[in-house]
Amino acid sequence: MTHAPHSEVAQHVADAAADHADSGVFPPFDPTYFASQLFWLAIFFVILYVALDRFILPKIKTTIEDRRDRIADDLDAAAQAKADAEAAGEAYEKSLAEARTKAHVIAADTRKALDAEIAKETAGVEAELSAKQNASEAAIRKAKDKAFAEVRGIAATATAAVVAALSGVEVSEADAGKTVDGLIKAKEA
Amino acid sequence: MADTNPIKQFEIHEVFPFEAFGLNLAFTNSSFFMMLTAGLTIVLFTVAMSSRALVPNRAQSVAEIIYGFVADMVRSTAGQEGLRFFPFVFTLFIFILVANMLGMFPYFPAPGLHSFTITSHLIVTVALAMLVWLTVIVYGVFKNGAKFLRIFVPSGVPIFILPFVTLIEIISFVSRPISHSVRLFANMLAGHILLKVFAGFIVMMAAGSASMGWGELPGYIAGIFPFAMTLGLTALEFLVAFLQAYVFAILTCIYLNDALHPGH
């Protein structure tokens, strides 16, 4: 670089100035190639338009839409699954509540049935017992009456025997019995 | 070697001559860059969309982002009906964007060995702007008939200033292709000239330093300043290259909106 002659760079500056002077017309305003630029612009712009419109843009569009549809589908499926899970949960809760209610009913029924049975059996046993008691009381009364009746007979016989032994008076047992009866009545009164 | 002429980048070189209808339709470096713009766009998009994956790779993401960007632009400015012009707006946007970006190369294996910005030539931007303008008129009249004229008569304007407003609207409509094309052309032209002027300063300072008898080195050292400027301007030019493509496309949408919904 140090060896580069000073004149070379200076020459370039001069050339540049000369180029500028030579062309005369500022290139963007030079009409020489206006027709050429319009012609090739039309060709390549139309090629690009057709390629984009027919092939590239529809491809991007369907790709984006496919993705959007896919995401929407997946979200729908997820929402569906969630709804299903919630429904299953509700059904479970419901059946659990039903089972609980049923269990309560069964327990109550059983208790009622048992209560009824117990009451029935108790009543039966009580009836039996009272019947037996009544029968026993009747038997006792009967025995007592019988005993009393026998006691009167014995008393009458004994009285007649005592009277006969003491006084020698024969007293019929029937008279003696009347007397005993009168004594018993007096005693009872 | 370094060439300090900032205008050289705009020169057109014939590659092979071609004449038809008595016109010079030679294939030039400008035609070459148009071919490259269209070809590169088609190839890159085709490669990017080749897999069409559900989960996109990087290239496919970029293609889809550009698609979504332009689609949103059209939808937000021209409404749902504007989407019938989506391929047209997309083509304009991507063509200008890729052409501007290709123009950012300082050197290029192309005729003349320099890069060439198609959109730095007024005739090209005028052609694109006229295409938009004529599309608006043809489609506007085809779809709305005489009602298309309502774009010149805005609603809700007091009657006594209406003639004045209508006149302004007509002038504004007629001047649209001018402003539309010159905005793009002037931005690209001015930016690229500025870039090359500052880059040229580095060489010029070396030459100046040499001619003072100090050798080239002090000039190259001082050249750090124009070099920093060139660096900054390059970043700015990338922004402008994108922004002007965007501005051209969104103005196209706004103009197409007039054809779709006149009398807003």
Residue B11 pLDDT exceeds 90: no
Residue in chain B closest to A70 (alpha carbons) equals B54
Average pLDDT value for residue range B28-34: 90
- Is B3 a member of any domain? no
Between residues 5 and 24 of chain A, which touch chain B (CB distance below 8 Å)? 6, 9-10, 12-13, 15-17, 19-20, 23
Condensed to tens digits (0 to 9), the pLDDT of residues B66-84 reads 999 999 999 998 888 888 8
Residue B58 in domain:
yes
Domain extent for B149: 8-260
User: What pLDDT, in 10s, does the model give residues B168-197?
Assistant: 989 999 999 999 999 999 999 999 999 888
Residue B1's pLDDT band, with cuts at 50, 70 and 90, is very low
Enumerate the H helices of B79-161 as residue ranges.
86-102, 122-144
Given this model, what pLDDT does residue A120 score?
94
pLDDT at B249: 93
Average pLDDT, chain B: 87
Q: B252 lies in a domain?
A: yes
The CB-side HSE value for A17 (13 A sphere, CA atoms) comes to: 7
Of B49, B88, B181, whose CA–CA distance to A64 is shortest?
A: B49
Residues in B touching A9 (Cβ below 8 Å): 2, 203, 206-207, 210, 216
Residue B40 lies in a domain: yes
Q: Stretch B129-140: mean pLDDT, rounded?
A: 92
SS (H, E, C) A32-48: HHHHHHHHHHHHHHHHH
Collect the ranges in chain A with pLDDT lower than 70. 1-24
Assembly ipTM: 0.90
Residue B132 lies in a domain: yes
A76 CA: distance to closest CA in chain B (Å): 18
Structural domains of chain B, count: 1
Q: How confident is the model at residue B37 (pLDDT cuts 50, 70, 90)?
A: very high
CB contact under 8 A, A28 and B189: yes
In a domain, B105, yes or no: yes
Can you give the pTM of this predicted structure? 0.72
Residue B2 domain flag: no
Report the alpha-carbon distance of residue B146 to residue B132 in Å, rounded: 20
Reported confidence tier of residue B231, pLDDT bands at 50, 70, 90: very high
Q: Which of B4, B5, B95 sits opposite A45 (nearest CB)?
A: B95
- Residue A153: per-residue pLDDT: 79
